[in-house]
Amino acid sequence: MRCSFTTENSMSTIVNSGWRIGLIITISMALAVTGAFLLRKPVLHIDVPGARILSPPVRVPPFSLLDQKGQLFSNERLAGNWTLATVGFTYCPDICPTTLSEMSAVFKKMETVSGAFKMPRFVFFSVDPFRDTPEVLEKYLAYFRRDFIGVTGAPEAIQSFANELGLHYVYSDPEDGQLVDGVLQKPAIEDYAVIHATSVVFITPTGEMVATMAPPFKTDEVVSVFEKLRTHYGN
Amino acid sequence: MKRILGLLAIILFCPLLVTSSLAGDITVTDPWVREAPPGAKATAAYMTISNTSSRTVQLDSAASADFGMIEMHRTEMHDGMAHMKKQTGIRIEAGKNVQLKPGDFHLMLMQPHRSLKAGDQCALQLRFDNGESIAVQALVRKQ
């Protein structure tokens, strides 16, 4: 009798503790899920026309180019600060000087509100290395802002860098709009035009392209997009 | 005295006539030339051309003593890429106006004969298919 009681009792203990363990596991899992939900990075929404968040971000590929002083410009030069960048060419009479003027207004504005953050850098990647030598870029960029960086390099290096970032370009004959095949040789046409991407891209201090923005570049909109990106991804 | 006042009025209003050339059916307002950044081989001229006549008019060509070559161009955006299209003319419909502005129609100014700085004036001659030829004084500015 006693024995059977003991057995019954221990049985109920086992059943009881099994139920408790199950409950503990269920609660822990629920807490873990809730915790993960609460701690996860909120999805970034930017409500500015023309601005696009890249999800997932695009890692800037290894590259080796030249700045306007003729010095090596490679991935290390993008480290530590945010980078705003665009592609273009100095022979461009309309879009490129417009974008550069707009970006110089953006940087001027950023200086007045930058108290809390490090100023980003601006890089103009030439996609016309046959005409845009470092010397040409140096004079051209300084006109818009002393600290703007101009980058050129070997046609192959520019092509692979631009393509990896989705900043496409092609040469054309301005007379009839005919496209020139390939970008590795200087087109035989005099005064050839360059059809090129017009976005400004945002690259984190760790070398990830996280957003793009299309023209026109209104000062307040670019500053607001940058502030949101910087707050979300960190300085 | 009246003559002096009249002369004074002419002198005072002259600058207005220079920046906004009036000739028959076509009016050009707000003409400006982008100051070319150093090293740039080309720049652009912008303006608004109004056609008050009852028929479509076309800008056929532009010339300037300050540039060896001027072409009519339009920047067009396709899939986020800027294309520059040479235009054989710029049509202005009857009673309408066309804006030559950044990212759109513009006169591409090539082979500069002198370096134009912000504040300078650049004389442009515009020829239209209705026979009108308009002299325009465009102000050089940065943006």
Please indicate whether, in this complex, the C-beta atoms of B42 and A140 are within 8 angstroms of each other.
no
Tokens 């199950």 correspond to what residue? A22
Question: Which tokens sit at A137?
Answer: 């870029």
Chain A interface, best mutation among B35, B69, B84, by max A CB count within 10 A: B84
Query: In this predicted structure, what is the pLDDT of residue A210?
Result: 97
pLDDT tens sequence across A171-181: 999 888 899 99
Query: In this predicted structure, what is the pLDDT of residue A141?
Result: 96
Q: Which residues 22-61 of chain B have a CB within 8 Å of chain A?
A: 34, 37-44
- At residue A195, what is the residue type? I
Which of B80, B103, B110 is closest, CB to CB, to A94? B103
H helix count then E strand count, chain B? 1, 11
Mean local confidence (pLDDT), A211-223: 96
Provide Rg for chain A, Cα atoms: 28
Query: In this predicted structure, what is the pLDDT of residue B22?
Result: 45
Q: Find out whether B74 and B106 touch, Cβ atoms under 8 Å.
A: yes
Alpha carbons A92 and B36: distance in angstroms, whole number: 10
| A210-232 burial code (b ≥16 CB/10 A, e <16) | bbbbebebebebbbebbebbbeb
Looking at chain A, how many residues does it have?
235
Minimum mean pLDDT range among A107-121, A146-160, B57-71 = A107-121
Query: In this predicted structure, what is the pLDDT of residue A117?
Result: 72
Q: Find out whether A97 and B34 touch, Cβ atoms under 8 Å.
A: yes
Closest CA relative to residue A123, chosen from A177, A82, A171, A178:
A82
Assign domain A51-233 to its CATH superfamily.
Glutaredoxin (3.40.30.10)
Question: Which residues have CB under 8 Å from A16's CB, separation 6+?
Answer: none
pLDDT tens sequence across A21-54: 777 777 777 777 666 655 555 678 888 989 999 9
Query: In this predicted structure, what is the pLDDT of residue A2?
Result: 45
% residues pLDDT > 90 (chain A): 71
| Chain B CB contacts of A168 below 8 Å | 81
Q: Find out whether B32 and B46 touch, Cβ atoms under 8 Å.
A: yes
- Give the three-class secondary structure for A128: coil
| Confidence tier at B63 by pLDDT (50, 70, 90) | very high
Query: In this predicted structure, what is the pLDDT of residue B28?
Result: 97
C-alpha separations of A148 from A85, A92, A100, A123, A138 in Å: 10, 17, 9, 6, 9
Query: In this predicted structure, what is the pLDDT of residue A36?
Result: 64
* Axis-axis angle for helices A219-233, A95-113 (nearest 10): 60
Query: In this predicted structure, what is the pLDDT of residue A157?
Result: 97
Instruction: Please indicate if any CB of chain B lies within 8 Å of the CB of A137.
Output: yes
Q: Where are the domains of chain B?
A: 25-141
| Chain A CB contacts of B99 below 8 Å | none
pLDDT tens sequence across A60-101: 999 999 999 999 999 999 999 999 999 999 999 999 999 999
Minimum mean pLDDT range among A58-72, B8-22, B96-110, B115-129 = B8-22
| Confidence tier at B60 by pLDDT (50, 70, 90) | very high
Please indicate whether, in this complex, the C-beta atoms of A143 and B38 are within 8 angstroms of each other.
yes
Minimum mean pLDDT range among A9-18, B8-17, B74-83, B118-127 = B8-17
Please indicate whether, in this complex, the C-beta atoms of A174 and B103 are within 8 angstroms of each other.
no
Give yes or no for residue A1 having a pLDDT over 70.
Answer: no
The partner residues of B58 in beta bridges, in order of sequence, read B91
Q: Please confirm whether the linkage preceding B31 is cis (ω < 30° from 0).
A: no
Alpha carbons B72 and B119: distance in angstroms, whole number: 24
Please indicate whether, in this complex, the C-beta atoms of B81 and A139 are within 8 angstroms of each other.
no
Q: Find out whether A144 and A137 touch, Cβ atoms under 8 Å.
A: no
Q: Give a three-class secondary structure readout of B85-113.
A: EEECCEEECCCCEEEECCCCEEEEEEEEC
Closest CA relative to residue A58, chosen from A164, A159, A157, A151:
A164
Return the CATH fold of B25-141: Immunoglobulin-like (2.60.40)
Instruction: Please indicate if any CB of chain B lies within 8 Å of the CB of A108.
Output: no
- Give the three-class secondary structure for A105: helix
Q: Where are the domains of chain A?
A: 1-40, 51-233
Q: What is the mean pLDDT of chain A?
A: 89
For A104, the closest chain B residue by CA position comes to: B143
- The residue that leads in pLDDT, B21 or A150, is A150
Which of B39, B41, B75 is closest, CB to CB, to A94? B75
H helix count then E strand count, chain A? 5, 10
| Chain A CB contacts of B37 below 8 Å | 90, 97, 100, 139-140, 143-144
Q: What count of CB pairs under 8 Å joins A to B?
A: 89
pTM higher than 0.90: no
- Intra-chain end-to-end CA distance of chain B, in Å: 43
Question: Which residues have CB under 8 Å from A226's CB, separation 6+?
Answer: A82, A84, A110, A120, A202
- The residue that leads in pLDDT, A5 or A199, is A199
Instruction: Please indicate if any CB of chain B lies within 8 Å of the CB of A219.
Output: no
